[in-house]
Amino acid sequence: MKTTIVITGMGVVTPAGCTLTDFWTGLLAGRSTAAPLDHFDTGRHAVRFGCRAQEPAGVLDAKQARRMDPFARFGVSAALSAHRDAGAPEAAPGRAAIVVGTAVGGRWTSDEESRKYTELGPRGVNPLMPLMTMPNAAAALISMRLGWRGPALSLANTCASGADAVGHGMLLLATGRADVVLAGGCESTLTPVTMAAFGNLSAVSTRNDAPELASRPFDADRDGFVMGEGAAFVVLERQEDALARGARVYAAVTGYAASSDAFHLSMPAEDGSGAIAAMTGAIADAGLSPSDIVHVNAHGTSTRQNDRIEAAALVKAFPAGPPPVTSTKGVTGHLMGAAGAVELVATVLAARESTVPPTANHDRTEPGMEIDVVHRAPRPIASGPALSNSFGFGGHNACLVVEPR
C-alpha cells in the first residue's frame, strides 16, 4: 500500500510577503511585485527591475546574517517558519532530513567578492566566500539550527529544483529513510552579473518604464520573464505519524514525477514531450486520471516560447481539456530554484480555499492557446486535487499533485 505523505507546516519568504496570510493575500490581489532595483547600480543594464523578497526581521542576528548569502538567509528563514508552523515536530536527530533546491547558490556573494578582487586585489576578498557561495550552505545551516543529523541534501535542477526537493523528500519518507523532512527551495539572483547575463540572453522582459506590467504569463503581449528571489519550505510527514501527534494537516502530496527533455540547455522540447511525461506521471503516481485535476499552477514564465509550449503540453496531457490554469509568476516573478516550492505552497493554499488566484497582467490569452487562464479576479473551484508544474533550463521537468485534507 502506498505511503501517504502530508504537509504539516509551510513557510515562505517572497516578494509578495513573508507570512502565509500576506502571500495568499498578495496572490489573490493579482498585482505584480516588480519594481526598479536600487540595491546596486543598474544604470548600464538592459534590465533594471525585478521582484525583491521582503526579508523577515528578527530571525537572524546581525553577525549570522553577515556570514550568509541572501539565498541562504531566505532559506533558513522560510525553513524555520515552516518548522514552527508544523508545531516543531520531533524525531530522532538521525531520522530528520532536509532537502533544498537552488539553481545557483550564493550568487550575490560571488558577484560582490569578484568586485572586491578587481578593486582591492586578492587581500580584499572575504575568506568566507567559499562557505557563503556553496549551494549546500542553506541545507547545512538549517541542519545546524535545528540539530537535525539525517540527510541534508542539495539539488540543483535549475527552475525545477524546489519541486524536485519536495519530491525527493517524499521518497525519503516513503522508503523509511526519514521520519520528518523539511523540503523546499531558496534563491537570490538579483545580482549585477546575473541580471546582465539574462538581459544579454534576451530571456527577460525589458519593460523598464513599466516593470509592474512586465510579467504576464500566457498573455499575447508577453516579452520575457521577470527575475525574482525568495524561498519556501514545507514540512513533510507520513500521514499516520502526523495524525498520531495531532498535527494540523494542510494537504497530502500524492503524486510526483520528473523527466528530462534531453534536447537543449535553454529551450524546451518543441513537442512538449518532457513536460507531458512529468504531468501525466505525477497524476498517475497519485492514482488519478487527468479529469480528476481541478486546477493547475503552471510554470508560466511569461516567455514567448516556454508559455506556448507549456500551453500545448497541457492540452495534450488533459485530453478532455485542461482545468483552470494560473501562474504565480505574474505576481512574484520567476524565483528560479525556489519557484517550484513557492508555487507548491500557492497550490496548497488554492486547494484548501477552493479558489484559484488570478494570473497578474494577463489581459488576452495568445491566440492558439487552448487553455483557460484565470485572470482579472480569483475564481472559485470545486475542492479536489491540483497539479503544480516546474520546468527548468536544461530540460528538467518536475510536477507535484496535492490533495486538500
User: Strands 5-13, 229-238: parallel, antiparallel or unpaired by DSSP?
Assistant: antiparallel
Which grid cell sits at 174? 516513503
Is there a catalytic annotation at residue 399? Answer: no
Q: How far are the Cα atoms of 3, 168, 179 from residue 175, in angstroms, in the given order? A: 9, 11, 10
Is the torsion defined by CA of 169, 170, 172, 176 positive or negative?
Answer: positive
Instruction: Report yes or no: 231 and 341 within 8 Å, Cβ to Cβ.
Output: yes
Instruction: Report yes or no: 143 and 180 within 8 Å, Cβ to Cβ.
Output: no
Is residue 375 helix, strand or coil?
A: coil
Which grid cell sits at 349? 493554499
Is there a catalytic annotation at residue 299? Answer: yes
Q: What are phi and psi of 74, to 5 degrees?
A: -60, -45
Give residues with Cβ within 8 angstroms of 197, minimum separation 6: none
Pairwise CA distance, residues 405 & 57, whole Å: 32
Pairwise CA distance, residues 353 & 217, whole Å: 23
Question: Of 223, 158, 179, which Cα lies nearest the Cα of 390?
Answer: 158
Active-site hit among 83, 168, 295, 299: 299
Q: Which amino acid is at 208?
A: N
Active-site hit among 295, 334, 362, 375: 334
Active-site hit among 18, 51, 83, 159: 159
Instruction: Report yes or no: 47 and 192 within 8 Å, Cβ to Cβ.
Output: no
Which grid cell sits at 198? 539574462
Is there a catalytic annotation at residue 186? Answer: no
Instruction: Report yes or no: 69 and 100 within 8 Å, Cβ to Cβ.
Output: no
Is residue 236 helix, strand or coil?
A: strand
For the beta sheet containing 386-392, the strands, ordered from the edge strand earlier in sequence to the opposite edge, are: 152-155, 96-101, 180-188, 229-238, 5-13, 251-260, 396-404, 386-392, 295-297, 325-326
Residues marked as catalytic = 159, 299, 334
